[in-house]
Amino acid sequence: MAEVKLFRAWSSPFPLRIVWALEVKGIEYDMIYEDLSNKSSMLLQYNPVYKKVPVLLHKGKPISESLVILEYIEETWKSKTPSLLPGDPYQRAMARFWAKFGDDKILPLIWEAFIKQGKDQEEALIAAHENLKYLEVELRGKKFLGGETVGFADLTFGWLANLVSVFEEIAGVTLIDHEKFPLLLTWMKNFMDAPKIRETWPPRDKLINHFRALRETLIAKEPK
């Protein structure tokens, strides 16, 4: 039994970041799958504030919030390469800034563009593109945001690589087009080709079924 346990839900992008980090660093761990519609008492005990996945349990001590967990992994297993964060404090600050930007701006807007329709969808997409432009510029001259290998910020944006095409297929809309975002699309390809990434992510057809059903439920709930 590994001294590291990860509580996750199979479809959620947040615990997947942690899976990637642990795999890439070769850290042994046990996976505990949660049914988010019927959360275990253990999850609620370990994450009483948010009641969400991921939760990392290390030697019995829980840590929540994916970005906090990534930093913990980096600091606890110092000798395990590759490093997720660079050594220079300014570059570390930049990685943290981009990760926060991704979670605060890009993810919610792409999600909005996926689950809404009509004018709401259009507006969300415009806002998403306004923000993605910054990421496109940041990627100039870089294979990954972390440099030559996948880093902290790349893991945070990793959901783009496996979920955007799923969302596009379900909603029948192009979310990230190659004319406006060539560097971002190249980054997505480089990311999915990086070690341990594609082999650990959920199967595409399962994701399509899951998010299609979720989208239909959310659309049905919308006030007419």
Partner 1 sequence: MVEEVVVFGVWVSPYSRRVETALRLKGVPYKYIEEDLGNKSPLLLKYNPIHEKVPVLVHNGNPIAESLVILEYIDETCPQGFPILPKDPYERATARFGSKFIDDKCMPAITQACWGEGEASDKAVEEATELLMFMENELKENRFFGGERIGMVDIAANIVGFWLGTFEQVTGVELMTRDKFPNLTNWSIEFVRNNVIKENLPPREEMISYLRKKRSAR
Please tell me whether the peptide bond between 54 and the residue prior to it is cis, using omega within 30 degrees of 0: yes
Tell me how far apart the alpha carbons of residues 101 and 183 are, in angstroms, rounded to a whole number.
Answer: 18
- Binding mask 73-92 toward partner 1 (x if CB under 8 A, else -) reads --xx------------xx-x
Tell me how far apart the alpha carbons of residues 150 and 128 are, in angstroms, rounded to a whole number.
Answer: 23
- Binding mask 132-171 toward partner 1 (x if CB under 8 A, else -) reads --x-------------------------------------
How would DSSP label each residue in 33-78? E--TTS--HHHHHH-TTT--S-EEEETTEEEESHHHHHHHHHHHST
| Among residues 2, 31, 36, 93, the one that binds partner 1 under rule CB under 8 A | 93
Least Å distance between CB 110 and partner 1? 17
- Give all strands of the β-sheet with 30-33 in edge-to-edge order: 30-33, 4-8, 55-58, 61-64
How many CB atoms neighbour CB 224 within 10 A? 2
Least Å distance between CB 203 and partner 1? 31
Q: Residue 106 or residue 166: which is nearer to partner 1 going by CB?
A: 106
Q: Does 127 bind partner 1 (CB under 8 A)?
A: no
* Near partner 1 in 170-209, by CB under 8 A: none
Task: State the residues that interact with partner 1 by CB under 8 A.
Answer: 48-49, 58, 61, 63-65, 67-69, 71-72, 75-76, 89-90, 92-94, 96-97, 100-101, 131, 134
